[in-house]
A = this chain, B = another copy of it.
């Protein structure tokens, strides 16, 4: 259907968008003056600027973002690429980032691809071409092309859920400390043989760090970790259910199972429930995250509370400081806290 090109107000047709020329006509100035009023207001007198802005407001003039971006070189948008959005804690982190930026007048544009496209430089290019002022990326393990594009465009950026990178600022927490707190708790309850349901460590630095932190703490406490007692799986409730069934089928003599996150732990608890294994009398289960559902599982879950919302907030503050031209605040690792609930208890026997 051809769109009407007439600007006459025909009932039932959408109103034509006011143009820069319309604003100029109403304000009695040139189109160039309107453009400067929007992009370089310091070049105009206060009276002219006021007249142009009043006309623009009256006509409901929406500045063409592309044109304004060219003129101002500032779009007040921040881009983020956070893959694997469903079935994870990332929505909570991103919403906190969004709220922190929104409070300073910035809009967050999010690219939330499937996991395998999370490191696709084309997604970053799409954001940079839209003119975002800054960028947030998930994790430190970005391909060099990502950092090169950020450098070439001279955009401030932050790496979310990352401990350290030579490439730029990170916001994260001390993974080794999180693992150490959980294993110390289990060791204190008399557990000597531990199983692990790990996230898949293939191409996932976050899962790798978590598994390393746990195995190091298990070794430090002199506890046992059979190779057969470590099951790697994708994240999710169904995956945790299946992984616990697989772990039990291997008949390793573990009395406590540590899950890489609360999604896996919820599925694992369900598998134990269905198999008639009493938690924690026969088996303790503990995990990481403290998701919103974790206090309401059967039984309520012992878990290391990770600073998921705080990562989003801190990353937002860091980007805003960079955009203001301030030195970004230091980014010490955010604290983690063990939350003890009913899913862990003394080792049986």
| With A126-B77, A130-B130: A296-B95 Cβ-Cβ less than 8 Å | no
Interface residues of A in 83-140 (CB under 8 A from B): 85-87, 91-92, 94-95, 98-99, 102, 107-114, 117, 123, 125-131
Give a binary string over A145-160; 1 marks a CB under 8 Å from any B CB, 0 the rest. Answer: 0001101111000000
Minimum C-beta distance from A157 to chain B (A)? 12
The CA of A284 and the CA of B309, in the complex, are separated in Å by 35
Give a binary string over A245-282; 1 marks a CB under 8 Å from any B CB, 0 the rest. Answer: 00000000000000000010011011001000000000
Minimum C-beta distance from A211 to chain B (A)? 23
Q: In the complex, which of the residues A65, A67, A238 has the most CB atoms of chain B within 10 Å of its own CB atom?
A: A65
Q: Which residue of B lies closest to A3 (CB)?
A: B154
Q: Which residues of chain B come closer than 8 Å to A6, judged between CB atoms?
A: none
Interface residues on A, range: 35 or more
* Among A10-18, A169-177, A186-194, A214-222, the stretch in contact with B: A10-18
Contact, CB under 8 Å: B85 / A94: yes
Stoichiometry, copies per complex: 2
Q: Does A45 contact B (CB under 8 A)?
A: no
Contact, CB under 8 Å: B75 / A130: yes
Contact, CB under 8 Å: A102 / B113: yes
Contact, CB under 8 Å: B292 / A153: no
The CA of A311 and the CA of B64, in the complex, are separated in Å by 31
Q: Which residues of chain B come closer than 8 Å to A296, judged between CB atoms?
A: 237-238, 240-241, 266-267, 269-270
Contact, CB under 8 Å: A108 / B98: no
The CA of A153 and the CA of B86, in the complex, are separated in Å by 32
Contact, CB under 8 Å: A129 / B270: no
Contact, CB under 8 Å: B63 / A129: yes
| With A114-B99, A152-B14: A130-B77 Cβ-Cβ less than 8 Å | yes
Q: Which residues of chain B come closer than 8 Å to A346, judged between CB atoms?
A: none
| With A107-B123, A128-B62: A295-B237 Cβ-Cβ less than 8 Å | yes
24 A-B pairs whose Cβ atoms sit less than 8 Å apart in the complex: A17-B152, A62-B128, A63-B129, A64-B70, A65-B130, A65-B131, A66-B130, A68-B129, A85-B91, A86-B95, A87-B292, A91-B91, A95-B112, A107-B111, A107-B126, A108-B111, A109-B111, A110-B110, A110-B112, A130-B130, A237-B292, A269-B296, A270-B298, A270-B300
**Interface residues, chain A, CB within 8 Å of chain B?**
3, 14-17, 60, 62-70, 75-77, 85-87, 91-92, 94-95, 98-99, 102, 107-114, 117, 123, 125-131, 148-149, 151-154, 236-238, 240-241, 263, 266-267, 269-270, 273, 292-293, 295-298, 300
